[in-house]
Structures are given as structure tokens and as C-alpha cells.
Structure 1
Amino acid sequence: MEKERWLSMNEICAHLGISRDTALKWINKKNMPAHKIEKIWRFSISEVDEWVKNNGKIENSQES
């Protein structure tokens, strides 16, 4: 099983066909899954694709 690699901001924007500004808006206002390490954004393509499939909502399978 191959380990999924993290995508950069440019790569995720190209994958989704959106601008950097739109990606930042979705991260801040729509909770698009993203991980920030210092000043660098990284994205798991499987998390982002799942988020898109769920119309911009994160499925929480570990409810408390």
C-alpha cells in the first residue's frame, strides 16, 4: 500500500481548479481540511476529495 503524499497549496488549487484566494476562503469559512506548518499549507488529497463529495462538510465518524 502506497503512502499518500501531502499536496502543496498550488497542487490542491490545480486539482480543484480554484485560485489561492478561493482556497484560503474555503479553509477559513467552510472548514476545508488543511494543515498549516508554520507558513506552509499542506493538504491530504483524500481528505479534500471527501470534503468536496460531502458538499463542503467534514464527516465526523468519531462523535463523542
Structure 2
Amino acid sequence: MRAATQLQLPEARGSVDAVAARIGVPKVPLFRWFDAKRLPAHRGGKLWKFKLSEVDDWVRAGGASKARTRAMPVRRTTTTRKKTK
């Protein structure tokens, strides 16, 4: 009789769109959260991927409420053109 072996299935990963839909926020806060190194994310080439279990744990731990920081406002400078005569 052989012992039953468990198969290790790869963990589910999601894209930015999938995670935004899963936790019910727009994509912009997600970009701010993982830029601030608060939301667990992994970059593969140009794409960001998220382990869904890590995102769920982060939300349960209150990560979304802790990460509610406003982005620094962009300082817009205007240049004045010299008038030519």
C-alpha cells in the first residue's frame, strides 16, 4: 500500500486589476501602496503580480488602513517666456 502524497499546487497570483477588484479599490491606491513598500507585490518584467494569500493577509492585518497616506502633491512650476519685440 502506497502512502498518499499531496501535490503542491502553485499559489494563486493576481494582476493589478484582479487585486483592485478583489479588495474593492481603484488601481491608483494600489500603485501608491506598493510604491511605499506596504502592499506585498512581486515584479516580473514590466508586470506587477500579487500572491493573493499575501494580499488577503495584508488586508486582514489592517494594511489598507495603515497605508492611507496622501501622495505628495506635485509641485507644478510655470516658466515665463521672454517677450520678444
Q: Same fold (TM over 0.5)?
A: yes
Normalised to the residue count of structure 2, the TM-score between the two structures is 0.59
Look up the match of 2:56: 49
Which of the two has greater helix per residue? 1
Q: CA deviation at 1:19?
A: 1.1
Percent identity for Structure 1 against Structure 2: 35
- In our comparison, the structure showing a higher alpha carbon Rg is 2
Aligned residue type for 2:57: E
Structure ranking higher on relative contact order (CA contacts 8 Å, 6+ apart): 1
TM-score normalised to the size of structure 1? 0.75
CA RMSD across the alignment:
1.8
SS of the residue corresponding to residue 36 of structure 2 reads helix
Secondary structure of 1:43's counterpart equals: strand
Listed as ranges, the matches of 1:15-26 within 5 Å are 15-26=22-33
* Structure 1: 4+ residue segments shifted above 4 A: none
Match of 1:37 among 38, 44, 65: 44
Shift of 1:20: 1.2
Unpaired segments ≥5 residues, structure 1: 58-64
Residues of 1 paired with 2:13 and 2:43: CA distance? 12
